[in-house]
Structure 1
Amino acid sequence: MRKPFLRVHALRLRNCWKLILGVTLLATAVAALCQRHDLLRMRDAELSAYDNGLTLFTRGRPRSGEVVIVGIDDKALQGIRDNPRYTRNYGVYPYSRNLWALVFEHLMDQGARAIVFDGVMDERGTDEGNDAALVQVVETRRVPLTLGFSVNAGQPALPPVTPANRLPGTVLPSSPEVVSEDPFGFPEEETPTAPPPGEVAQALAFPVRHPGLTLPPLAHDPRDGGPRLSLHPVPPLPGLLRVTPGFGLVWMEADRDGRLRRTRFVYSDGANTYVTLAVAAVADLLGAEHVELTPGRLKLGARELPINPDGSAELDFGGPWQERFEALSVYAVLEDWARRQEHRERGTPYVPVLPEDTFKGKVVIVGGLSVGTGDVKATPFQSEAPGVVKHAVALEALLSGRFITEAPFWVSLLLTAAVAFFSVALLTLVRAPLLELLWPLALYFGFFLLPGMFLARGIHVLSAMPIYAGEFACLSAVAFNHMFANRERERLRESFNRFLDKTLVDQLVEQQRLPSLEGETREITAFFSDIRGFSSFSERFKDDPKALVALLNRYLTRVSSVLMAHGACLDKYIGDAVVCLFGAPLDLADHAVRACHAALAVRTEVDSLRAELRKEGLPDVYTRMGLNSGEMFVGNFGSEHLLDYTAIGDGMNLAARLEGANKAYDTVILIGPRTYALAHAHIEARELDRVRVAGKAEVVTVYELLARRGELSSARKATVARYAQALAFYREARFAEAVRVLEDALAADAEDGPSRVLLARCQHYVSHPPAMPFEGVTNLEK
């Protein structure tokens, strides 16, 4: 049996070797062309494969023993705001610079090896004495500080200079002595004059040797929108420019999808060369007088690292940043300083906030961790990470780790040809229908697995290009898949044409992941709407039911058209009520955003219809809406006589309750907490209340949806801000203060329903105080 089997395949090989070779060469050439010119979104696919390989195979790198992060987190923002002494001396974020003077000094006292500040200080503070205090500490304590600087298109170009690295400990001309009488405050100093451009360039530029390598320009990338503009450094504060030993460029260097994956080390503005923040810091730590950058190598003093031929390198995150780095709050540093100070001055028992060796011998990078205190970017491991993480990862790699480097292109090209050859030879010679189906699937999974085996060793081999070539060589299997999928497409068309827009049905049947009509759990957004007072509304037509049907059909048609245009799946009509789903059966990653935008569009459409009906003397169709997102079970439900595609679960119930809750708050659109969390970056909304719906013990926060992001008027914003202030007073049981704020709000905007409702509630509690502790939760009975 074995010989006939081999003979058959030998004959096939003899008959098909030209085809196999030709398809291999063509597939390799097409894949290489797609890679070079980004056809078929191959670079996006490569980034996706790279991210998956990184997260699957490189997680678990050891926790950094070199770098510690001290950040402005929520604890710091809240702690300083709630401490009158801290607020008096440092203000609220952004804090006055005497806070950084204290933090830097305390870090030095605790043995920090160096301090890297992920931020810029290029604008004078309101109290220049605080700026002077920071300058004094950096100068007198010889702080090994590396400070960030930014670049701007509107900034004048700096003159070319011959740069030299000013290492920490360099003796500088002394400044007038500033004596501190209060450890929390510093006297003022005369305003320093702006240094000449040459001095600025001398401080910011860095000596770089780069034979055989063209440095990337400091310029705005046109892919980010707008023309290509040259960028120039923004000078830091004059005092800091004189005493700070190191300056580094603060630039996020995100890929075109917004994720942080790679870094460059040196940039040029045509006149001078500038290094990034991490490079500047490590150069000082290693005593490097210059940076040497050649294709494939980076040298800082005695340390030499492999990099990419173009002078870049991929960042080895090694896992979520919380697993890689110890992160401490600025507030903890302040409290530790305060306790030590009190112990020294008053002899009180010393209970440390931080262990003695927390910062000893460590490089401390200081930056923003809380939203609003710094850039928030995505990494391959996390959709949201503070920008300081990029600098921390680069510091760790430069000090004791490594970067991930790209394999030579010929290696990836050879792998591409091998995958294409094996794929076409396997399917051509074996000719098994099941294999024609399974092998493309195996290639698809290889798309995620292939880069990981190399990435674990610090090498990035292109994986999208080999997989594209392999799939091209599997056209016979693709044809088989196409025929197999026809029956599924027709079944889906029949099932969903009734309640999905036709274009969405076409999109649904073309997506790779087909929905399960038997039922599945997925996160979606449910939408409920209802006409206010429909019972009274319908009584007007008790003698003319045809007119009621015509009006109701007119209303439902207008509303449904808007919803379906935004991607909704119509679930059902319950009289005048409309129920629909976003995110099922069509998988929509932005289902919450679509639902919110659809609700706002429905509100506009209904307002237009109401105006038309008033002119015609017909009843009002004022509509309230409720939206909620969550995990729900979706599929065909019913009996053998009637099936309906719908969703069930607590998420649906809450959406319906939110629609009804509009009446209690005199609002139009209420959304649940998960919907707000998913869509808040694209909408204007305000937190309305914490409620407990009927039949549930759980407390949920509800929000009023107001407008698309950026479309809220300034007057409305003022009303929302006053309401937020009053709500905070209300939750603290400061009802009289809340009443005053709400009265001011209603004086400016008498039509704001939530303010009226909360005012009535606060006035009631002023005269009838509630039991303490006050829960601040509203029970909704309907």
Structure 2
Amino acid sequence: MNIGRKTRDAIAFAAIVLVCAAVSVSPVFNIAHGLSIDILTALRWEMYGRRLDPAASPAVVVAIDEETYQAPPFKGSPLPTWTGEIGRVLGAIVEGGTKVVGFDIVFEKSIEQSEIPFGGGLFGEKVRGFDRDYLRALATASVGGKVVLGEVLRGDQPIRPSQGQRIAVRQSQNIRALNVYTDPDDIVRRLPLTFTVDGKPVPSMALELASRALDAKPELRADGTVALTGYRIPGAVRGTMTLNFEGGADDIPTYSLADLTACAAKGDKDFFRRQFEGKVVILGTVLASEDRQRTSKRFHTGIEGARAPRCALAEAPVNARFNRRDIAGVYIHATAVNNLIGRDAAVELGRLPIALIAALFAAFAALIARTLRPATAVLTFLVAIGIYLIGATAAFNHALVLPLSEPLIAGFAALAAMVGYRFMITDKDRRLLQKSFALYLAPDVIDRMLASNKLPVLGGETRHVTVFFSDLEGFSLIAETMSPEALMALMNEYLSEMTDIIEGHGGYVDKYIGDSIVAVFGAPADDPDHASNALRAALDCCARLEELNRSAAAFGGSKVAQRIGINSGDALVGNFGSRRRFNYSVMSDAVNLASRLEGANKFYGTTVIASETTVALTGETFAWRELDTIRVKGRNNQLKIYQLLALAAELTPAQAAVTADYARGLAHWRAGEFALAEKCFEQAAETDRPSRMFLERARIYAQQAPSGEWDPVRTLQEK
């Protein structure tokens, strides 16, 4: 079954769009999906900077940081021995009015459980009661639901707080999981909302802290979604929320445990009230080598440090010299708490909307690849990507995640596929048409026809052009002395070389008439320098013909000369002919005059003659000799004609001298001073045919003046 070209192209277009969109959302590229969030997080930071004031952050962090390890009483002491100081800080924070305190660190073992022999017994027995203050602080805080300990679920071997801590916080009532969700590329972009423990759904640490801060229980709905105070928490992966990280650092106020310990020791209750009242406090490690996670803010992490207001210790310098791509795990839970309380968790689109966006990008890319040149199409698509990135970043500033990887993959794939289709199928027809019709029509005319998808029609337009008319001198005599085959070889060589030069200067060969060439400059393509380009083409044609006379085998030793006439003016250019058959051509009196000027070369013995109109358009770029004032056959108006000698910069002294003598002689001739004209013309009469021609006439008129009123205008009777 034969199908039309338009139908074939439409089917190919639809297939490319659908296949590229489907491939972009296939599991093969799932690993690239999360990159959209990472890029948008970085772009939003660059475009909008910080969105929220850190002081307004619902969650704050108490950091076990490098400063804590170097400050007394912690310096030189193992972490399990810090429980007493942590308990005092916990009590001060709770007394200061915190909503709830969560532990992103698990004290799995107690020093009281040590079975190392010491002093005739076990070390644990010797320090029995060491954790008493810490356990009392936990028990006191748990009464009002002010503390949540963390655990890490690992199948049947979870990492849990020590038994005494679990009892102090009333077992699972105040213990929640700290596990995070890692994407296939090992990046944390999402956080679980619930976990199944003993067959029941239990909120995660972040959800538990947020719900206690809002004094509301989370709603675990049948469809697997979770709501908090009516806020349906969005999540692209079932049971999780997509984190909406700020870029940079300092978005979560961070306090050093060392400073808070000193503050609690001096009893500054006002500081704890000012900093922690109404806040969600998360205690965790902020170290360079412990509990580090790469997240969707990896391209703009900032330098971490405890930069919140200080209470007792002098501000310590931040121990970091560069931005790392990972962050402390405690900030993941703090960000989740802020997202839940602020109701701005990132909203990801579903598979179908993403596929539709990818299909739109693929359709746009295929369309521009179908209608524009490949380089232009790529540039246009890159501009479209830039605009889309700006829009997607603006949307992400309102927590909406528009896909980036899928549209880009689909778009570039469609762009490449359509370019390949054009090259293999569509443009094959176009190239054949251009190659074939370029032998008959101007390339610009063919391009217009292909661009419009319309056949040419009769009609034209008036354009200011320069007409180039050339002819071979003595062609009939040459043809008589050569065989048809040799004559054809000579003409093909001559016409090919002259045509290449004319087209190389922007001209269009209208037609060949035997050995004559009719060309036009300034149409069909616009050319503001059409007159100058026609003259340069004439000079190059003359130079090339001299080379052909010397070296071309097809010329067979024949010395061929040419005559060229050039004229500028308004002309009608377009398609002329019958309704069934026509040519792109040029038509006007300017064309006829160019033909007459070509013939005038025969009378004056010159090679290139141009009209005064052409000379006026070219300025001082060319060297001219004013030949005469004439009337041509078929015209009553007189006109000045000029011989083209060379480019102005290439005029020889001998040519300049002949031109000067000729100009003086021509002035005397026009004034009727024939004797004086005779003296001027005889200076170059032996080598210059125009001078010799005027000399002969000047001598005649010097001896016998013409009768009647003197008319210096010459009328040429031959075409």
Q: TM-score, normalised by structure 1?
A: 0.43
Larger Rg: 2
Q: Given the two structures, how large is their TM-score scaled by the length of structure 2?
A: 0.47
